[in-house]
Structure 1
Amino acid sequence: MNSLRSIRALVFDLDGTLLDSQKKLSERTQNALLRCGQLGLDLFIATARPPRSVKALLPSIIMKNVSAVYYNGAYCRDLSGNTSSFTISPAIAAKIITQVCRNKEQDKLSIESEDVLYALSNAVYEQNRKHMFVPPTIVSDKSLASIPANKLLLFRCSAETKHYIMNFRAQLSVVETDAGELLHIMAKHISKASAISTLCQKRAIPMRQVAAFGDDWNDLDLFKACGYSVAMGNAAPGLEKDATMRTGTNDTDGVAQVLEKWFLD
């Protein structure tokens, strides 16, 4: 492993990592982030969330100092405000939507498209408010299939639906989080790691000089791609095996603990 002095960029997952169990950013962690930025380290957020909820959760002073990866890599914004968007094949999205409706699971499906949430009914919002900040725009199944989808999201879908989706693994990136409760579906080769790599290339930062912090399986690709990786104390069981080290939980300022030890003390 390279010297810690070689680290030039820091990447943070949001839920379960930067944010505590109450979805708050502690003052200690906020100060550690800002001080690292003042030292010249590039800061990145990499999350499954859409832009609107990240903006609602993080203070504006943090948002001004980070580049952001949303939808597990399907939508990105750099420090200059430039965005990149990657969508699922319309034909494949239409097949999945048809299958979901055939299985009468339309109340478990939503689509994210460049910070707009779409669904077939309000039931998906009523049943999953902890994952959604705003009610969706309601459209018909035909209209839904025509929307460029950065991400399809299924909440507690049946094994039959999940099996059907897995038939498209050669053309899709499929990630389970929240102990299998959520199924995130993006275009093939879309991941937090691919998005961070692209953003870092623009800054001439090699991935070996990047440190990633995370707690769930959609952070695994980052752990493998970055030179350093830190699993939270509350991480999904087994994730720490692919991490450089483990820190405290998100409720004990685990991120700040590492930043202070590495760069600030």
Structure 2
Amino acid sequence: MLLREKIEQAKQWITQRTPHQPKIGLILGSGLGSLADEIEERTVLPYASIPHFAVSTVESHVGQLVLGKLEGQTVVAMQGRLHFYEGHSLEAVTFPVRVMKALGVEVMIITNASGAVHERIKPGELMLVSDHINLTGSNPLIGPHDPQLGPRFPDMSEAYSKELRSLARKVAAEQGIELQEGVYAWWTGPAFETPAEVRMIRMLGGDAVGMSTVPEVIVANHAGMKVLAVSCVCNMAAGILEQPITAEEVFAMAAKVKQKFATFIRGVVRNL
């Protein structure tokens, strides 16, 4: 079955179960999944029920699509994302983005948790992603080309919308949030990076590193959506503090920052 046929089947299944026609898509990463619980007039659809959706296996990711109203806007949110390190293909990881586009989404807001590579960025801060480095050697667009889904060679010179980044900075200023800005490096995981790898990322120009986001950003751009990505910096990357990194540390910091993060994202949505 062609990818676009799978997308259409998933779209039809969803539209039969909700009155909402979303224009804004949200991918809620580690620590921010609870924002989906604040969506009003909700339609909740578990990934396992949606045709051709993969199922999230990460404990902190609920794994459901939530459609409804947030700050007066009609949205569709992934409450928990899919990761390459779970063993999903990149087509499966990015399939929900394709479906969101089919549902009518024009703006994609993507959140994640990351480790700081540049020492000017501290745990607990939010980082606006200005660009990315793909360190995985793979790309979700590899494979047969379907011109109905997007161009064979999409431009990535403004993968992260300048207009949306400007809006985000304005919202941060209004809320009194010190918003960092930098380059996000995508590492496959699930192992954290070694100190030598972190030094390499710093030399390449990376400011933070994480295990998600870039595949979804590539596909969203391919599909013609505007993208905003914001990272919750949860720890200093390996070798900077000379202490072990644990998932518990990451989750604890994400939980600590989640209210500030959620308020910020709500402010962005309100101003779209």
> Do Structure 1 and Structure 2 share a fold, with TM-score over 0.5?
no
Higher helix share: 1
Relative contact order, higher structure (CA 8 A, sep 6+): 2
Structure showing greater radius of gyration is 1
